[in-house]
């Protein structure tokens, strides 16, 4: 299904390690609006989409979100490269050091682990695509907050790239929502996806 190129979708560079910012950016790894939830949401919802075009879009974006999770992982790892226990303590992130050292774990910025309740799949294409559009907006805003919290131009470059992709995904989901609604009308489907029984 996938062809994996062994390189990041966009270069991830940091000017210098910054454990405090790593603690913030980890939320896009495993937080409620992060890349793990996005990838799982879209790759799961694709199965209940009524058109091949909608299924393909969810597969493509879900796959790209996996690439974004890889980029966030690379960023966090570079931000904590060489950090000591004292560095983690100074950043207020000693729990990360004690439980994972420099390893990655899916949490938000407060250390709360990722949870499947962050995502949904109702099996209704209108509800699911609308949720997907909202998810992209929440990720966009989170990236804006992160950009405002760092002075590192290299980190900002990567975050801006990810921000731009959230905007594009929102637009693609909006177009797909329109397409699916038109398909449902033309196919004499009700909004819940069932064929009309009065033919």
Which residues touch 165 (CB under 8 Å, ≥6 apart)?
64, 68
Helix %, strand %, coil % of the chain (to 5): 65, 0, 35
End-to-end CA distance of the chain: 39
Name the DSSP class of 172. H
Residues at the annotated binding site?
A: 35, 60, 65, 68, 136, 169
Residues at the annotated binding site for Mn(2+)?
A: 35, 65, 68, 136, 169
**Is the CB of residue 157 less than 8 Å from the CB of residue 13?**
yes
Residues at the annotated binding site for Ca(2+)?
A: 60
């Amino acid at each position: 299904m996938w062809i994996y190129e062994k390189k990041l979708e966009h270069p991830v560079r940091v000017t210098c390690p910054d454990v405090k910012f790593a603690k913030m950016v980890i939320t896009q790894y495993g937080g409620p609006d992060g890349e793990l939830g996005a990838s799982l949401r879209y790759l799961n919802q694709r199965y209940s989409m009524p058109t091949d075009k909608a299924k393909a879009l969810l597969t493509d974006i879900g796959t790209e979100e996996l690439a974004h999770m890889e980029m966030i992982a690379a960023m966090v790892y570079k931000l904590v490269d060489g950090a000591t226990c004292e560095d983690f303590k100074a950043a207020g992130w000693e729990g990360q050091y004690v439980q994972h050292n420099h390893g990655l774990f899916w949490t938000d910025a407060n250390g709360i682990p990722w949870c499947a309740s962050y995502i949904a799949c109702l099996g209704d294409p209108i509800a699911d695509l609308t949720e997907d559009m909202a998810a992209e907006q929440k990720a966009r805003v989170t990236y804006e907050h992160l950009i405002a919290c760092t002075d590192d131009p290299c980190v900002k470059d990567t975050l801006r790239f990810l921000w731009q992709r959230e905007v594009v995904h929102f637009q693609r989901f909006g177009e797909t929502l329109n397409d699916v609604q038109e398909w449902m009308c033309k196919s004499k489907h009700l909004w819940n996806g069932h064929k009309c029984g009065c033919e």
